[in-house]
Structure 1
Amino acid sequence: MSNSSNTVVGLLAGTVIGATLGILFAPAKGKKTRKRISDEALAAKEKLVETASDLTEKVSSTVSTKKETLDEQIEEVVSNVSHKAEDVISTLEKKLKELKEQNKKLQKSA
């Protein structure tokens, strides 16, 4: 998890804890206090879900970008290997042709 997401989670946790303690120590009836705690918990849950959704989108975007970059790099490597293989084949074909000519000369002289 990155530092920014840790910071966001820490801020949310601090907000929830602070709000809950503030409500608990405020002078109010038990039913009203429980309602306020419930409302604050729901609000914190919504913020947490929103933050998680944002982080999911960022991670998905990053993974997608990295995948595209990796695909491009793989394609480049395959292309380079293909060209090098063609060069090696051409060199081997030239060598084979030279060896065949040398063999013909040796067979004529023998």
Structure 2
Amino acid sequence: MSKSGNAVLGLLAGTAIGALFGILYAPDEGSKTRKRLADEALAARDRMNDSANDLKDKVSSSAHDLKDKVNSAMAAKKGTLDEQLDEIVTDVTHKADDVINSLEKKLNDLKAKNKKFQKS
């Protein structure tokens, strides 16, 4: 469990224990005790809301930082991929020229052989 989760759990446990002891050892009359419990419950709710908002802000900030890091990494990888793609296209173009030249040479050889067969 994270530190924030432990803090919220500790806050809840402390509030529950405090309320229990408050009821058990209350020197005041019931209406005052109920009022005090209601006030404590509202205070605990406010503390929990504050803790939840702090946790939400931390998660949001972490998510934003992570998103920025991922975007930076993707931009760097995109640049690398673009360079690699350019190299591949250049290599393929040269190889295609070599293949075409080779095929043209073979075609010329075949035409020459065909002329020999037609003369014979």
* TM-score of the aligned structures, taking structure 2 as reference length: 0.79
Deviation larger for 86-95 or 98-107? 98-107
Aligned length: 109
Root mean square deviation of aligned Cα: 1.7
Q: State the match for 2:66 in structure 1.
A: 66
Unaligned stretches of 5+ in structure 2?
Answer: 113-120
- List structure 1 runs of 4+ shifted beyond 6 angstroms: none
Q: State the match for 1:46 in structure 2.
A: 46
Rate the CA distance shift 1:97–1:13 in 2: closer, same or farther, 3 A.
same
Q: State the match for 1:81 in structure 2.
A: 81
Unaligned stretches of 5+ in structure 1?
Answer: none
Q: State the match for 2:35 in structure 1.
A: 35
In the alignment, residue 37 of structure 1 is paired with which amino acid? L
Task: Tell me which structure has the larger Cα radius of gyration.
Answer: 2
CA distance in 2, matches of 1:92, 1:17: 73
Deviation at 1:18, TM superposition (A): 2.2
Deviation at 1:80, TM superposition (A): 1.6
Q: State the match for 2:4 in structure 1.
A: 5
In the alignment, residue 79 of structure 2 is paired with which amino acid? S
Deviation larger for 43-52 or 92-101? 92-101
Is the CA contact 1:16–1:44 (under 8 Å) kept in the aligned structure 2? yes
In the alignment, residue 101 of structure 2 is paired with which amino acid? E
State the percentage of identical aligned residues. Answer: 27
